[in-house]
Structure 1
């Protein structure tokens, strides 16, 4: 083909060209894909369907949820999932479990038989180093105090009836085992082994003043005895027979009183059981004391 003929054919083609928007639409099969033409404008986007109102949605569409039997009865997968994720549904369950644990009352201790109670009391009394009260024994054994008291009386009566070399008696507000007075000579020989631990006359006099005048200051004791008693007071405190119990309000001096060991040594329950001192004192003892103060 010559150049002239080629120019004529291109001119004919340009004259016969029709724009795409002027071309007639021809139906195409469903399975035939027509490549989009770049010059063709995109079709209009479809208008979205109107969304229903929230009130109508809540009125017309029922909420989806677990069946009532699963919510109230079975511990299904939904409950397990809520518990594992720590959601709000797990809180009431933990709270109710806590309330159940708090309301469970402790089981009472089983009641001991008389034989077992007697043996337990004897075992404790053998190891105590000071009188122990009925209340403490009842708390340790987890038994009512109404049973412990009569049982201690029964044990004490049994020791006395059997003629043992020891006895159970009440002293300093509690109970403790003691050797019998008729065997004191042998016990003293074994314990002392020739060593004298007796109190001096000055210590005995000072201890008597403390016992009958307690609480009392050292100056008061010295005034009653007529001599300085500071060293004797220190001896009594070291032996555990006297102790400090506060200070006097006016002078600020230390006050002294007898101890539980003092009651044990004398076999007394309280200081009220001390014998009356009035028959052994002169009539003007208070005037003498005031004069020397």
Structure 2
């Protein structure tokens, strides 16, 4: 028996995107476009777009605290903003600083973005940091300087591990005052290594590093150190560097002593 076309239509499955009731009758629904691959997938909420002024302020704060150039991708991750938007804002910030002849400039290199003092103001910066008859270092700076002196060449992370605190700000101070300098990279981690300078020896009245007091055994490896400060509190020779109380109760060291 030959079925009619109506019978065929009644028994056929519903069109793509449609449904049928319990009797097999097709229910009319809106079919998904054949080329819409996202049909049926729920939308994922994207981070809200940050106000341009707010984004600029956040980027300024982040750039102010980094020690090395930071990429637009890293800044975008922190701010939860698209990379293209962060990169565009950084370029705009750099242009604005240049246009108003700011004392700082935002530079871009292969490694990323970073704030710098403008080169033509360098003499004033140097005068503030390096001049003065009696420039003092804090105890924290002296202890950090001692670790560098006895473990050089040494990475910033290793100095931090020995002292048990973050030393980024202190290391910047020592670099700015010319007491330590970058000398290379660690073979294992690739991190920058630091060592003392000729100025360091001059300020201590030494001719070479071999003239330093022999206290290296009091600075053990990071994997065995527990409390560096407790080991050195009563060591007279270390007090010369750490600013401990000896004849002079002052806890600072005169780095500009002739």
TM-score, shorter chain, exceeding 0.5: no
For the aligned pair, the TM-score class normalised by the smaller chain equals: 0.3 to 0.5
Q: TM-score, normalised by structure 1?
A: 0.33
Q: TM-score, normalised by structure 2?
A: 0.38
Question: Structure with the greater relative contact order (CA < 8 A, sep ≥ 6): 1 or 2?
Answer: 2
Larger C-alpha radius of gyration, 1 or 2?
A: 1
**Structure with more of its chain in helix, by fraction:** 1
**Structure with more of its chain in strand, by fraction:** 2
